């Protein structure tokens, strides 16, 4: 394809993340054009389409999947629909951007990835945090060798507030819903695979989460293939906002990505020195990352290159998530090979 061609995309799912991607495609990525939007619930799709001046709105995704003018689809619907939509999109020769996770079931994931492979379409998984300028900078410092051999990874990942209990009940649990991003970040930053996980977890934030069979606070130890060690700490509720920090310590130095704030003002008064809280939640914190990930997808398709977050990148964190879940349940370190066989 020539660089001057525009990529025609269809967006499946008009919820919060669907809106983020559609707006970015419409306003921030001149090389792409949102041709159509579909959602089983028609109203938000129509509102989104109207806001962006898009005329094609559907309830049935097939109207998009079978549209010859559409080159690629952006899957932002609920998790349980991802794998089937990937199958269908692949069968229709559409390139695919799919929100994480592909599915909660490894067999389903494998079938979907096989369908994509067979169809030869491009696939990118929505691990947006890789495109955050600060995390990318840390990755670059590791990859370039400026930090030497990586020895210790630290990820702090805390949400400003827990999701509704109804969501917790179907989310697959904290490790598959929330920590999955951190597992991806761990692989991305270290450039080495996780081999074993030990998860210590508890219900400290919200008893209802415990009643739903989940935990809300966790400290997870990772052992990497290269011998390095890592730790992720999670909480469903940081009252001061979305806490997203990473640190890689290596033989030549350490790199720490601090939180991102809406302004750089420091105020001092009789009570102390005060600065702004972190940006509230993922939509604000990763606004730039969402643009960059979609731009990377569009460019990869237009330039016929492999997208930067592959199907395998979408699969491995689910395996780590199951290992963490098992570890927390059995209170012992669990090797990934116990899950993935």
Is 79 or 235 the residue whose CB approaches a second copy more closely? 235
Question: Would you count residue 221 as binding a second copy (CB under 8 A)?
Answer: yes
Question: Would you count residue 51 as binding a second copy (CB under 8 A)?
Answer: yes
Which contacts qualify for 68-72: CB closer than 8 Å, 24 or more apart? 69/8, 69/35, 70/8, 70/9, 70/10, 70/35, 70/36, 70/94, 71/7, 71/8, 71/9, 71/95, 71/301, 72/7, 72/8, 72/9, 72/10, 72/96, 72/97, 72/122, 72/297, 72/298, 72/301
Question: Would you count residue 273 as binding a second copy (CB under 8 A)?
Answer: yes
Is 127 or 249 the residue whose CB approaches a second copy more closely? 249
Sole window of 103-111, 180-188, 199-207, 304-312 interacting with a second copy (rule: CB under 8 A): 199-207
Question: DSSP letter string over 117-151?
Answer: HHHT--EEE--GGGGSHHHHHHHHHHHTTTT-SEE
Separation between Cα atoms, residue 233 and residue 213, nearest integer Å: 19
Q: Pairing state of beta strands 95-98 and 243-250?
A: unpaired
Site residues for a second copy, window 75-134 (CB under 8 A)? Answer: 133-134
Binding mask 12-31 for a second copy (x = CB under 8 A): ---------------xx-x-
Question: Would you count residue 218 as binding a second copy (CB under 8 A)?
Answer: yes
Question: Would you count residue 320 as binding a second copy (CB under 8 A)?
Answer: no
How far apart are CB 333 and a second copy at their closest, in Å?
6
Is the C-alpha dihedral spanning 143, 146, 151, 157 positive or negative? negative
Is the C-alpha dihedral spanning 248, 249, 253, 256 positive or negative? positive
Question: Would you count residue 207 as binding a second copy (CB under 8 A)?
Answer: no
Question: Would you count residue 259 as binding a second copy (CB under 8 A)?
Answer: yes
Nearest to 29 by CA among 299, 324, 337: 299
Interacting residue with a second copy among 52, 63, 91, 161 (CB under 8 A): 52
Question: Would you count residue 44 as binding a second copy (CB under 8 A)?
Answer: no
Sole window of 7-15, 86-94, 163-171, 269-277 interacting with a second copy (rule: CB under 8 A): 269-277
Is 63 or 152 the residue whose CB approaches a second copy more closely? 152
Alpha-carbon separation of residue 281 from 153, 171, 240, 248 (angstroms): 23, 18, 11, 23
How far apart are CB 201 and a second copy at their closest, in Å?
8
Site residues for a second copy, window 224-253 (CB under 8 A)? Answer: 227-231, 233, 235, 237-241, 243, 249, 251-253
Site residues for a second copy, window 126-185 (CB under 8 A)? Answer: 133-134, 136-138, 141, 146-149, 151-152, 154, 156, 158
């Amino acid at each position: 394809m020539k660089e001057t061609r525009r990529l025609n995309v269809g967006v499946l799912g008009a919820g919060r993340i669907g809106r983020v991607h559609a707006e970015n495609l419409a306003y921030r990525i001149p090389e792409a054009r949102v041709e159509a939007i579909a959602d089983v619930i028609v109203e938000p799709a129509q509102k989104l389409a109207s806001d962006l001046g898009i005329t094609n709105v559907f309830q049935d995704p097939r109207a998009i999947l079978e549209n010859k003018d559409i080159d690629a689809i952006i899957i932002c619907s609920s998790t349980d629909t991802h794998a089937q939509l990937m199958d269908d999109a692949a069968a229709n020769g559409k390139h695919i951007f799919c929100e994480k996770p592909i599915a909660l079931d490894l067999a389903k994931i494998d079938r979907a990835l096989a369908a994509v492979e067979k169809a030869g379409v491009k696939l990118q998984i929505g691990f947006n945090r890789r495109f955050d300028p600060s995390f990318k900078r840390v990755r670059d410092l590791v990859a370039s060798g400026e930090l030497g051999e990586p020895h210790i990874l630290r990820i702090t990942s805390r949400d400003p507030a827990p999701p509704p209990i109804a969501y917790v009940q179907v989310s697959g649990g904290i490790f598959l819903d929330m920590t999955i991003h951190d597992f991806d970040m761990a692989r991305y930053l270290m450039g080495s695979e996780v081999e074993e996980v030990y998860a210590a977890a508890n219900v400290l934030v919200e008893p209802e989460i415990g009643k739903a069979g989940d935990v809300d606070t966790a400290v997870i130890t990772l052992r990497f293939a290269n011998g390095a060690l890592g730790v992720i700490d999670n909480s469903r509720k940081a009252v001061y906002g979305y806490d997203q920090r990473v640190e890689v310590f290596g033989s030549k130095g350490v790199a720490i990505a601090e939180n991102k704030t809406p302004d750089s003002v420091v105020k001092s008064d009789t009570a102390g020195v005060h600065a702004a809280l972190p940006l509230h939640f993922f939509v604000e914190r990763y606004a730039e990352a969402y643009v960059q990930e979609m731009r990377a997808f569009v460019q990869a398709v237009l330039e016929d290159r492999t997208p930067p977050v592959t199907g395998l990148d979408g699969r491995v964190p689910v395996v780590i998530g199951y290992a963490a879940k098992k570890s927390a349940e059995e209170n012992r370190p669990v090797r990934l090979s116990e899950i993935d066989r």
